[in-house]
Amino acid sequence: MLPVTGLYAGLLAIGFVWLATRVVKARRQYRVALGTSHRMVERAVRAHGNFAEYVPFALLLLALNEVNGLPDWALHVLGVVMLAGRALHAHGIGREPEDIRWRVMGMALTFLVLLAGAASLLGLSLATLLAAPPISPSVALRVRMHGPGAGTGIARLAAFLLLSEAGPVPGQAAGILLPTHRLPLGAGRGAGGVLAGLALVATDVGLLAGHGAAPLR
């Protein structure tokens, strides 16, 4: 449900129909069935067309912001400013002679809504994308790497470093045991053992994160 977006979509739809009726009225009044040979017809057409060019994208941003959790008060601010901008623009462009200040203010408010909506949506999206995937408090990790040498210690350290990037690691074990890896004889020593240990641990951590911390048996 998108009640806030629905509210402003309904109000703006009424404004869209109103502008369309102005086009019909101008065509009848100045006897221009096709095209924009009369300036007042052209003004009515451009008021309607400009509305159609900007409002759908603004409503899309409003809907996506609402879905992503932007507070209702902020959504209402965007909606009210958009309504005001569209009203000012239609008032300014529909007059002859025109006071250009009304159209400028209308477009300024429209651009403000688009930019603010885009900025807030980017912030919400980036916050979601960069957020650490949750790890259940009941989940713990025990890494058992066998083999002498530096590979064992570095692999264990890598496991905790990798998990720290994904979220807090509980202090108490809760029955989640990653598969035990036995490195080939001699692989625990030197750079080869270190790389092998890191690769195995990274695989386990990736599985843990990718499967929502489900038990691996």
Domains located in the chain, CATH noted: 3-130 (1.20.120.550), 145-210 (no CATH)
pLDDT at 84: 97
pLDDT at 61: 97
pLDDT at 132: 56
Pairing verdict, β 181-182 and 145-146: parallel
pLDDT at 134: 55
Confirm if 56 and 12 have CB atoms less than 8 A apart. no
Distance CA 98, CA 122 (A): 37
pLDDT at 133: 62
pLDDT at 198: 46
pLDDT at 208: 43
- pLDDT per residue as tens, the chain (217 positions): 899 999 999 999 999 999 999 999 999 999 999 988 899 999 999 999 999 999 999 999 999 999 999 999 999 999 999 999 999 999 999 988 888 999 999 999 999 999 999 999 999 999 989 985 654 444 444 444 444 444 444 444 444 444 444 444 444 333 333 444 444 444 444 544 544 454 444 444 444 444 444 433 3
